[in-house]
Amino acid sequence: MSATIEALTPNASSPPPPAGVIPTIARKELTELLRDARLKWAGGLIALLMLTALLLGWQQQEQLDAERASARSETYQQWLGQGEKNPHSAAHFGQYAFKPASPLSFLDPGINPYVGATVWMEAHKQNEFRFRPARDATSLRRFGDLSISFVWQVLSPLLIVLLTFNAFSGERERGTLRQLLSVGVRPSQLLAGKLLALGALLAMLLIPPILLGMLLLLVIDDHHLSAVDTLGRSGLMLAGYAIYLGGFALLALAVSALCGSSRKALIVLLAFWVANAFVAPRAITDLAARLAPTPSALDFQAALTKAKRANFGHDENHPAFIEFRDSILKQYGVTRIEDLPVNFRALSLNEDDERGYRIYDEHYGRLWAIYQEQERIRALGGVLFPLTALQPWSMAMAGTDIAQQNHFAAAAEHYRRGIQKAMAGDMIKNRPNDSSEYVAGPELWSSIKPFEYTPPSAADVVPGQLSSLLILLIWAAAAAALAITAVRRLQPT
Amino acid sequence: MSASTVTAADMPRQSLFREAISLERRLFRAERLVLLITVILLAAVAYALFNGAAWRDRQGSLLASAQLEEATRLDEQRDKLTKMNAGSFTPTSSFQNPRNPLWVGLRHAATYAALPATPLAITAIGQSDLNPPYVLVSADSRETFALNEEIENPGNLLAGRFDLAFFVVFLLPLVIVTLSYNLLSAEREQGTLAMAASNPVRLALLLWAKLSYRAAVVLVPLVVFVLAGLLLLGAPIFEADGPVRIGGWLLLVTAYVGFWFAVTAAVTVLGRGSAHNALMLVSIWIVLVLVLPTVGSVAVNLSFPVPSRAEMINSLREVKTDSARTADAGAAKYALEHETDRNGGAVSDKDFEAARKRVLSVQLAAEQIASTMAVYDRQIARQRSTIAWLRFLSPAVLMQDALNTIAGTGDERYADFSVQVDAFHQQWQQYFNARVLANEPLTLRDYDAFPRFVYRPGSVSTVIGPLASALIGLLLPMLLLFAYAIRRIERYPITDRA
């Protein structure tokens, strides 16, 4: 500290203080921080964890993506190789959809461990995704995943707290605050200088892994997303983390200025850190689940089954079936099914499917709306505890949030309906109305192109998450306001 | 203590200890610390147990509605069969035929194998949000039902729940750290330690008194609130093995609290300042509760990677296609589902042929499906047995694991449930397949004699075994840390070094 005072004293004899006050403070603070043994240990550990998380995450993502790619081509080969059969039977055989790994999921795996990446696209049914990876792991996994997002969301704020809790209170306890103020340093300059130093330090710690991450991104061979889009997404993701960590730095400085002692500041900050990282996400999740409860699989299926009773399915005595049959006979001006120029059974299958789509859209739409409501409640908690607003933003940019999972689910469903339509269409045209067998072959199967998924672009994703970013900004602004108020009231004793 | 003429040196150790404790009590009262801690504990325990109870009730109603669904479905079938016997109902297809053992075994009578909650289920949600409490068993092949999941927003699963186990494992150590990071250092910093040390009282005794008092401040309200909460929320702690579980829970929590106080004692005797102690304790917490578990999880994953389920899906499909071709059942299934059979209710020759092919195809595939799926189960089991050792590195993992075991929401219990379900599945298949292959129509009496799943709870040793090893894993480091603290405290600086 004496270095700062010496550096400032010659100029400080006559107010106003020199223009170089802030950089001088920042330089001195940075030197002091770098000498701090706390930083060597904590920073070293964090750097090591980040490196491990990056390389492991990247390697696992590459492996996962390769597995899914080969599974995709295999399921399509099985579709092509199913032999000659009735097209509706082929529709029953169906295909599987495997969600490609998003290129940025190695930074933030998000919901990936807790959601299936696979769905069976079969006739008559819009299925649920299956095989949550977390179920193939042990309870150890519930402690969290080692990922860059874990380090940045949970550990980095703690590092900030540990480095900053005595920023002002420590100066006061050592008596250097009085000296500083007496030479004419304005508290706001002190705040800016300390903030700058902290920023520089975090940059030193965080920029190398960011560069490494970028490098790994270049190596990822992904044709699903353009490089520009990936770059845009990572930039936006980093912006969210910058706001989050900046807000934490401001809050820590504010608390350090407000608290009478370093000890108190440390306790207040640690309590906030624990609440933000561990308590709030769980407590708000419980609250969201209570306000917008998820239906059970059983209830969901029962509701679907009930709604589908209005459809005739394969039941030829169903009133809806009879009504439909009569309308078709009337449309073609015939009285007997045998006289129809098109295959009636296929026509009725197609009709039943069309009616089913409306039911599925309604029910899945309602389910996804519940998820969205839960996410909205969670993000709102970010006004107090920023992690619950940062998390959705980070996951959205990484392509690992529920909205993008459902985007994939919708695309798979669209593809499934395409198969149904094509199979029924072929039968409507080609299958005779008598009871003779009708089979199609590989030409028909290959008329269905392989399922290619195009993830939404950053521009599509950002609008849905602007509210999270806004909440994060509000929180950070509140932290800034608190910091400014706190240093204005700064008392040397 | 009663006679003021007795000097401190004459006092037995016990009353010195009591004196120190009562001093602590006065200090805590002055800072209203007991009240603060009690309020925090009450709020956390109430919220956690309330959440746990809501979860248990949800799981319970899930099971109830599953059983209701099954009963309704069976009644419908019985009703149809009665009418069919009376001649007032004629099935339009073999699928609709309540006498047909094929579709009754595959769909209409499919039965829920349920895993009942344990008396202490509300204390740890554990893995129960990933593993549904029931499996719908049918005569179909295992992969069609064994891995079914409950619908849930993955965001909720990611966040986890605020249950009692979470509070105990994650937050309780922080409460302990906050209470005791300045155990002796504060008094030294205030200069009162030298005064205290001028009395004929050993520092070790002083430290011991301070620790005991703080442990009581944490443990007594915690235990009281938890027991009261369990009773109020209707946890059947006196039923079945409830007393064993509640006893185990109390022992575990006491040992865990003891461990963390031992950590604070060991850090305290190093003789550094309060702020330094706080930082060190928080760092230890981070390493034990966050870093070691996540790194351990990665290590276990890398050592015994569970292969991709994407691969399993495709290879199972290959297996099933092959066996279906062999049994030529593909066409049969289609015919069964789509061709109506108006020749009356009996299983016709054509349907029998198709049914036979379908059963043969399921039987042909069963072995390969089992061996393909076993690869996954084996890797997960290897991960589990590795963690059984690794958990000794982190008391947090040890504790979470043990609390899950006590609540009956741990990995082991779900694995055991899955084994029991597999055995029952085979029994179910045998029952129905024998009748399909003999083309034997089901009667009303058969309906009452369908196999039923009854969960066989593990013996008390399945709880006591892991509990004992967890206790050892907590108590051993605790004793070592205390032993270190007692040795090292002789060198404790009673005044601040200039």
pLDDT at residue A17 greater than cutoff 60: no
Spatial distance between the Cα atoms of A126 and A243, rounded to a whole number of angstroms: 40
**Residue B428: predicted pLDDT:** 96
For chain B, the average pLDDT equals 87
Interface of A with B in 405-434 (CB under 8 A): 405
Among A41, A71, A266, the residue with its CB nearest the CB of B314 is A71
Contacts of A417 (CB under 8 A, 6+ apart): A353, A357
B358-370 mean pLDDT: 87
A16-28 mean pLDDT: 76
State percent of chain A over pLDDT 70.
94
Q: What is the CA radius of gyration of chain A?
A: 30
**Residue B89: predicted pLDDT:** 87
Give pLDDT tens digits for A195-218: 999 999 889 888 888 888 888 887
Does the N-terminal peptide bond of residue A100 adopt cis geometry, omega within 30 degrees of 0? Answer: no
- What residues form DSSP beta bridges with B452? none
Asked if B70 contacts B112 with a C-beta cutoff of 8 angstroms, the reply is yes
pLDDT band at B335 (very low <50, low <70, confident <90, very high): low
Give pLDDT tens digits for B465-496: 999 999 999 999 999 999 999 998 888 887 76
pLDDT at residue B342 greater than cutoff 70: no
State how far residue B490 is from chain A, nearest Cα, in angstroms.
Answer: 26
H or E stretch including A13?
none
Lowest mean pLDDT segment, chosen from A165-179, A327-341, A391-405, B229-243:
A165-179
* Percent of chain B that is helix, strand, coil (3-state, to 5): 75, 0, 25
**Residue A18: predicted pLDDT:** 53
**Residue A416: predicted pLDDT:** 96
Tokens 């919708």 sit at which residue? A410
Please tell me if residue A37 touches chain B, with a CB cutoff of 8 Å.
Answer: no
A299-327 mean pLDDT: 88
Contacts of B66 in chain A (CB under 8 A): 298
B242-270 mean pLDDT: 95
pLDDT at residue A1 greater than cutoff 90: no
Spatial distance between the Cα atoms of A96 and A94, rounded to a whole number of angstroms: 7
Helix axes B461-488 and B242-268, enclosed angle (nearest 10): 20
Check CB contact under 8 Å for A68 and B308: yes
Token pair recorded at residue B334: 């289609």
Among B151, B291, B337, the residue with its CB nearest the CB of A296 is B151
Check CB contact under 8 Å for A266 and B278: yes
Give pLDDT tens digits for A138-194: 888 888 888 999 999 999 999 999 888 888 888 888 888 888 888 888 888 889 999
Backbone φ, ψ for residue B114 (5° rounding): -110, 140
pLDDT at residue B6 greater than cutoff 80: no
Token pair recorded at residue B238: 């006196």
Contacts of B3 (CB under 8 A, 6+ apart): none
pLDDT at residue B122 greater than cutoff 80: yes
Contacts of B401 (CB under 8 A, 6+ apart): A139, B387, B391, B410, B466, B470
Contacts of A267 in chain B (CB under 8 A): 178, 278
Please tell me if residue A115 touches chain B, with a CB cutoff of 8 Å.
Answer: yes
pLDDT band at B12 (very low <50, low <70, confident <90, very high): low
**Residue B489: predicted pLDDT:** 86
Lowest mean pLDDT segment, chosen from A250-259, B89-98, B110-119, B212-221:
B89-98
**Residue A228: predicted pLDDT:** 83
Among B159, B289, B310, the residue with its CB nearest the CB of A71 is B310
For chain A, the average pLDDT equals 88
pLDDT at residue A330 greater than cutoff 80: yes
**Residue B393: predicted pLDDT:** 93
Chain B residue with CA closest to A371: the answer is: B153
Spatial distance between the Cα atoms of A332 and A325, rounded to a whole number of angstroms: 11
Residue-wise burial string across A429-441, b where 16 or more C-beta atoms lie within 10 A, e elsewhere = eebebeeeebebe
Selection from A230, A263, A236, A268 nearest residue A251 by Cα:
A268
pLDDT at residue B220 greater than cutoff 60: yes
B77-94 mean pLDDT: 90
Among B174, B293, B376, the residue with its CB nearest the CB of A136 is B376
**Strand locations in B24-157 (E):** 111-114, 134-137
pLDDT band at B403 (very low <50, low <70, confident <90, very high): very high
Give pLDDT tens digits for B269-297: 998 888 788 888 988 999 999 999 999 99
Spatial distance between the Cα atoms of B400 and B351, rounded to a whole number of angstroms: 54
Taking CB atoms and an 8 Å cut-off, how many pairs form between chains A and B? 229
Contacts of A17 (CB under 8 A, 6+ apart): A8, A11, A183, A184, A185, A186, A189
Between A267 and A294, residue with greater pLDDT: A294
State how far residue B475 is from chain A, nearest Cα, in angstroms.
Answer: 21
pLDDT at residue A275 greater than cutoff 70: yes
Spatial distance between the Cα atoms of B374 and B361, rounded to a whole number of angstroms: 20
pLDDT band at B8 (very low <50, low <70, confident <90, very high): very low
Please tell me which of A409-423, B362-376, B448-462 the model is most confident about, judged by mean pLDDT. Answer: A409-423
**Residue A19: predicted pLDDT:** 59
Q: How many CB atoms lie within 10 A of CB A452?
A: 11
**Residue B145: predicted pLDDT:** 86
Contacts of B153 in chain A (CB under 8 A): 294, 370-371, 374-375, 402
Check CB contact under 8 Å for B340 and A38: no
**Residue B344: predicted pLDDT:** 41
Spatial distance between the Cα atoms of A120 and A128, rounded to a whole number of angstroms: 8
Give pLDDT tens digits for A80-96: 998 898 999 999 999 99
CA distances from B470 to A58, B259, B405, B412, B415 (A): 35, 12, 11, 15, 20
- What residues form DSSP beta bridges with A97? A119
B358-364 mean pLDDT: 86
Among A75, A166, A367, the residue with its CB nearest the CB of B314 is A75
**Residue ranges of domains in chain B:** 11-498
State percent of chain B over pLDDT 90.
53
Residue-wise burial string across A380-403, b where 16 or more C-beta atoms lie within 10 A, e elsewhere = bbbebbbbbbbbbbbbbbbbbbbb
pLDDT band at A337 (very low <50, low <70, confident <90, very high): confident
pLDDT at residue B308 greater than cutoff 80: yes
Check CB contact under 8 Å for B151 and A294: yes
pLDDT at residue B11 greater than cutoff 60: no
Spatial distance between the Cα atoms of B448 and A295, rounded to a whole number of angstroms: 32
Check CB contact under 8 Å for A114 and B150: no
